[in-house]
A and B are shown apart, each in its own frame.
Chain A
């Protein structure tokens, strides 16, 4: 209560100062009156009484001031004065102030936006119940091992999903391809997120579906009666048992429905092999992660022996539990740290610039400050003034920065690849705003204290610019090196030959129907597509290249038996139609390509890539050798070798894939759940793009087409992560370079202004122009070179940290480490030119006259 009263009174004393001063006068007047009448009553003559009464108040003005001090008015008065004063100073230096404030706002805005991203990706708990107890166990990776842990584990509840796949959801006219995930029936309970409507899956659910909130809104008009109804999914009726709350789309943002994951030991290939799943666990209460991990490791030998085929001894040796959040954002962690580091450096450069601006003002006010000290202003009072100015400036910049942060986060979300984990969760909220306020205040104090500290030691003022040039040059060099490394890496990535010709190819994805398997559907569809005007080659495959989709199997090679203690051979697998090599123009090196004779009934055959041939049969002809998936009894014969293709990403296959195998579509390893279409066309593909769904529908009314695109778009998208990171870092490096150049200009210009008398006199005494130029240029050049050198030294360490983000670029890349410092020193030299010209134009005659 008392504090409330105090705050109210303080507030009143600031806002209603005039009223209160008036009250004070009235109070004094009434005192004088009472004292007068009292004195008169005691026998003092009236005229004398009044004089005595006034005198009893003492010096009225002094008392009045003291009363105002007592109200706490003085501090506010002074701060208001300080603010007015600094505002006038900023106006005098309008352009530079505006630029400084603007860059500061930009830096604070960027830092806040990137922090919003960083916070969402790395700091916030996952949006699940008690997320700290959720652990990733994806080293299990297959349905069989997962099923054993689910049934037997005592310390944790294990759940699994198989990522995202397309479902054919029956519609009014033709089905729509919708992304969904097959999940273990305990999936929702394990995450701790119950459906908003209906119920989660139960162990007995088979043909059931849970809808996302989005899908429920868009397809079923948010009708709650949908629960219990049946919808056709991949042509099978599925009972809708639940609707999830808004925003829930685990395991990936495009997921719009969930069905129960099939765990059928009778389907050994799927259960123990190709039907990979992602496994995670929730620790039961009172169980430590170490205990749960110990239980998991204890089960590994038993699981290994349960496989229907011999697993290598090493299988499961890496089984571990890692916090689910760390696992989900693993790919974005380094990028997030990098971006935050980059904007932090830009912010520091901006802070140094503002410190310089304020410092210049402090120097210009040297006389004023000295005068005020001699009139009795305490050093604390002057310090307070400088800090007030700085903090006011910083808070103004922070407020502008917040507005920019909203825009910048929007931009970041647009630039960053859409599959960046948790990108949708990034928002500017109170947490981020608190961070913004904190960095604004922090930088305000920093750039307020720097000049204040310097002016405390008045003798040191002339050299204050030097550390500034040094620091800015060092920071900017670090950013330029980083940008150089990432751009160089991007350049390498774009220069990668994908191994096929991506031009003039229309792509699409297609889900086969229940009655038409992929291969049968393709046999019917191919002639129609090939006959469409402009289509030269119509081909299909189980996956399209460079889409980042996984397709692989564990293989046995007849003449390369692996000892049981070694890991088994994993081979990348593409199942292709006869026309595939022709459509993508992949060269056949030896042997034969697939023909229509390679049917499901014919002897199984495969093609292998050149590097696979070189790895397993160096110097020998692999044609005629045999391999098979570990769970199949029948060997497949290699009939030819094709040139290497970047099937997975531009950087190549995952490290664990030891080779690349092609099978004919009818002989695919496992039934392809979808077809990727590849149509090489002549001329404008617009007509084809439009008519593709109808062409497909004529053949198969239950088949849905989606992701209609062009191969060149897919190739460009596959470099998107590198491109966005490189362009963001490059943009910030450029900003840093401009800021540093502006800072260096400011320092040198200020130096010339201050030394104009000295320079003029030296000129008058006959100093040559080149000498004077050197005198101006030397310190800034020296410190920017020293700063660049320090920046390079720091970059050696820092660039090692971002090595995993680089492709074909050594951490200490000669290109980046040469160009970055050169660019910086050049920029510093250019920034020095205008003040240099000014120094040379100093008129010695005028200097002498005015001196």
Chain B
């Protein structure tokens, strides 16, 4: 795992929460959305996506539920819990503060 990947690991959780804050979706949809939203910059191995999802579930930020999909199969839909929503807000705020500060130092703004 490269160093930039490691940074990504830390932020991956926030990104997942952000994606799930829009609507409940399956693991696969989360990965597809991740790819889409970041213009393919953030290529998350699906292998590392699922452990993250499970970790978030264990933390109580998100909850998984088995439902029937459009194609009639049983798939697991993840959605944000109330605690997860609060957590996301907190993380977003601190991310904003951090990036403002880092941008300031790097002379980007």
Contacts and interface: CB of A to CB of B under 8 A. Distances in A.
Interface of A: 1-3, 5-6, 9-10, 13, 23-24, 26-28, 30-31, 33-35, 38, 56-60, 62-63, 66-67, 69-72
Given A9-B57, A30-B69, 11 more contacts: A3-B60, A9-B60, A27-B27, A27-B75, A31-B46, A35-B46, A56-B45, A59-B47, A60-B47, A63-B47, A70-B54
Given A26-B74, A31-B27, A35-B28, A56 B46 contact: yes
B47 A62 contact: yes
A57 B54 CA distance: 15
Contacts of B81: 2, 5
A23 B32 contact: no
B8 to A, nearest CB: 15
Contact of A6 (B28, B52, B54, B60): B60
Contacts, number: 81
A38 B29 CA distance: 11
B73 interface: yes
A49 to B, nearest CB: 14
Contact of B51 (A1, A9, A60, A67): A67
B58 to A, nearest CB: 6
A1 B55 CA distance: 18
A279 to B, nearest CB: 63
Nearest to B32: A38
B92 interface: no
B74 A30 contact: yes
B18 interface: no
A35 B29 CA distance: 9
Interface string B46-85: 1110111011011110010010010001111000011100
B26 interface: yes
A833 to B, nearest CB: 58
B50 A9 contact: no
A63 B58 contact: no
Given A57-B46, A71-B58, A2 B83 contact: yes
Say which size band chain B's interface belongs to.
20 to 34
17 contacts: A2-B83, A9-B58, A13-B58, A23-B76, A30-B69, A31-B27, A31-B28, A31-B46, A34-B75, A59-B47, A63-B50, A66-B47, A66-B48, A67-B50, A70-B52, A70-B54, A71-B54
A58 B52 CA distance: 14
Given A2-B81, A10-B58, A71-B58, A58 B28 contact: no
A58 B60 contact: no
Contacts of B27: 27, 31
Q: DSSP majority for the B interface?
A: helix
B58 A57 contact: no
Interface in B7-25: none
A181 to B, nearest CB: 62
Given A58-B45, A58-B47, A33 B73 contact: yes
Contacts of A34: 26, 28-29, 75
B81 to A, nearest CB: 7
Contact of B60 (A2, A56, A71, A72): A2
A26 B47 CA distance: 15
Contacts of A62: 47
Contacts of A31: 26-28, 46, 50
Given A63-B50, A67-B50, A30 B60 contact: no
A208 B29 CA distance: 88
Contacts of A9: 57-58, 60
A394 to B, nearest CB: 30
A6 B32 contact: no
Contacts of A3: 60
A738 B26 CA distance: 66
A822 B58 CA distance: 63
A279 B59 CA distance: 63
A30 B26 contact: yes
A29 to B, nearest CB: 9
Given A23-B76, A30-B74, A59-B47, A1 B83 contact: yes
B57 to A, nearest CB: 7
Contacts of B45: 56, 58
B79 to A, nearest CB: 13
A144 to B, nearest CB: 73
A72 B57 CA distance: 11
B59 A6 contact: yes
